[in-house]
């Protein structure tokens, strides 16, 4: 892979003002595969100025015209699935089959979903003597993470473009290569100059410059809760809108009438998806105390079906963690949990056998985890599951709601109505009932310190709209 030396600004690939390269490391080999420029404040200024100039014309294009471009981008991206999936597997370690199906497949579906939404969405509504109109908010600064490096970009950019906004994107410096591919796609399909701009770099430099910039009307951020707080504080000086999708510590509540074997399989799959590097992962499995020992036996058997290996190996289900810092963090959490009294049921902090190079950890299941302990309260962001017994349904709900987060969760029961009733009592933005599937048209976002605002579907579109009333 070639090193990147340019940014996409105002419809052109232009040299970066910030010349120091940031290495892109393959987490499976710990070797550099590419590099991107470390953008400077001047790069952000150029990109924002381009987006501001483009906004006047783009904001008044017809929904049909915007839909056609989004649909064309979906087709162009889909045609490059194999290539872009390989990029993502190389930059952040996802198994190749998962990269094709999810890391690229979901962005294609999201682009198409916004093309479809625009066909029917009402940007105007008559209320008595008032005409209520929804208008694009303006220039959007999008700051995205490394765990779903293309999907998280498209979830923001597709919605913003559909609304009529222009965008300056800062992707994660850990996994920025797929964002370059998206810029090429937008260029290929004829997106007008300045509507989408790409500047890579470090959060404290490029992200900060976007958050404080007076000509940026909104910042949409996905990442850690700590970084989200910094973005919100930086943006406060200009009172711009801030949408945050932050961390999670989601609970999977297995009720006493559930098919325990099926529930365990569903819960473990959700926890281990993308190597556990998923903000919505159910990292706490709550099981009835009377079934706790049986659950651990079933989990042990199910966990054996998650081989760890190189992302390009066909049988791999869990690849390496995305970077060295994440590896150290996850291993540290496992070690601290054991020091606090947890028991390693599966896995542990040691490297998987035969994988001495690369940021690999064993998929780990912890028993004896006490509510309120560090590993039960904090986001690990790795393939680490805490199994927690409970005595009553109310206790399960209290444990599920007992963290600072509220992003996602799951409930499993033999009675659908009972499961829904429990789901309603969980203080979280999303709950899967009996294995309900991901829906790209449903709102995605959380309560409490998991953030504010929503992505995907009509709710995601409306994040990028201002509401105006005209009294007639």
Handedness of CA 398, 399, 405, 408 (dihedral sign): negative
b or e along 333-371 (b: 16 or more beta carbons within 10 Å of the residue's beta carbon)?
A: bbeebbeeebebbbbbbebbeebeebbbbbbbbbbbbeb
The verdict on whether 271 is a catalytic residue reads: no
The verdict on whether 279 is a catalytic residue reads: yes
Q: How far is CA 18 from CA 15, 44, 132, in A?
A: 9, 10, 44
Q: How far is CA 261 from CA 393, 426, 437, in A?
A: 19, 23, 19
Handedness of CA 337, 342, 346, 351 (dihedral sign): positive
The whole-angstrom distance between residue 248's C-alpha and the CA centroid of its chain comes to 11
SS3 of residue 247 by DSSP: coil
Tokens 């999303």 map to which residue? 430
> For residue 398, which phi and psi values (nearest 5 degrees)?
-65, -40
Element (H or E) spanning 356, and its range? Answer: none
Handedness of CA 105, 89, 190, 60 (dihedral sign): positive
What single DSSP character describes residue 273?
A: G
Q: Which residues sit opposite 282 in a β-bridge?
A: 250
The whole-angstrom distance between residue 459's C-alpha and the CA centroid of its chain comes to 16
Among residues 91, 173, 208, 245, which one is catalytic? 245
Residue 291 sits at the vertex; the CA angle it makes with 285 and 292, to the nearest 5 degrees, is 50
Q: How far apart are CA 250 and CA 283, in angstroms?
A: 6
- The residues, any chain, with a CB within 8 Å of residue 262's CB and separated by 6 or more, are 412
Q: How many CB atoms lie within 10 A of CB 106?
A: 19
What single DSSP character describes residue 390?
A: E
Among residues 271, 279, 376, 463, which one is catalytic? 279
The residues carrying an active-site annotation are: 245, 279
């Amino acid at each position: 892979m070639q090193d990147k030396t340019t940014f996409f600004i105002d419809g052109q690939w232009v040299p970066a003002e910030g010349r120091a390269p940031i290495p892109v490391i393959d987490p499976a080999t710990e070797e550099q595969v590419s590099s991107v420029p470390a953008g400077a404040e001047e790069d952000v200024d150029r990109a924002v100025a381009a987006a501001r100039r483009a906004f006047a014309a783009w904001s008044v294009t017809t929904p049909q015209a915007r839909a056609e471009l989004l649909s064309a981008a979906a087709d162009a991206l889909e045609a490059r699935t194999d290539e872009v999936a390989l990029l993502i597997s190389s930059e952040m370690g996802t198994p190749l089959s998962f990269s094709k199906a999810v890391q690229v497949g979901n962005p294609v579906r999201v682009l198409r979903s916004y093309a479809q939404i625009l066909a029917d969405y009402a940007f105007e509504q008559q209320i008595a003597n008032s005409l209520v109109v929804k208008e694009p908010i303006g220039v959007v600064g999008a700051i995205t993470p490394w765990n779903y490096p293309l999907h998280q970009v498209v979830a923001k950019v597709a919605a913003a473009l559909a609304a009529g906004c222009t965008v300056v994107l800062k992707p994660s410096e850990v996994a920025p290569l797929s964002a370059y591919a998206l810029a090429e796609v937008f260029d290929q399909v004829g997106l007008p100059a300045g509507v989408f701009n790409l500047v890579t770099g470090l959060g404290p430099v490029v992200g900060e410059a976007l958050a404080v910039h007076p000509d940026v009307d909104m910042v949409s951020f996905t990442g850690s809760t700590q970084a989200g707080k910094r973005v919100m504080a930086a943006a406060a000086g200009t009172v711009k809108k801030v949408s945050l999708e932050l961390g999670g510590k989601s609970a999977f509540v297995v009720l006493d009438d559930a098919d325990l074997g099926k529930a365990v399989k569903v819960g473990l799959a959700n926890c281990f998806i993308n190597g556990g590097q998923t903000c919505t992962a159910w990292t706490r499995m709550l099981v009835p105390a009377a079934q706790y020992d049986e659950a651990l036996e079933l989990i042990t058997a199910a966990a054996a079906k998650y081989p760890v290996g190189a992302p390009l190996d066909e049988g791999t289900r869990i690849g390496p963690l995305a970077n060295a810092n994440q590896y150290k963090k996850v291993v540290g959490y496992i070690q601290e949990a054991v020091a606090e009294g947890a028991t390693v049921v599966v896995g542990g902090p040691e490297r998987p056998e035969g994988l001495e190079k690369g940021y690999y950890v064993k998929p780990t299941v912890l028993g004896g985890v006490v509510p309120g302990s560090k590993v039960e309260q904090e986001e690990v962001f790795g393939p680490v599951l805490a199994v927690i017994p409970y005595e009553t349904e109310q206790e399960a709900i209290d444990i599920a709601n007992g963290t600072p987060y509220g992003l996602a969760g799951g409930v499993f029961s033999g009675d659908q109505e009972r499961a829904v009733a429990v789901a309603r009592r969980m203080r979280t933005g999303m709950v899967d009932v009996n294995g309900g599937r991901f829906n790209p048209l449903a709102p995605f976002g959380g309560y409490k310190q998991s953030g504010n605002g929503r992505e995907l579907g009509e709710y995601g579109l409306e994040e990028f709209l201002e509401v105006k009333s005209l009294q007639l």
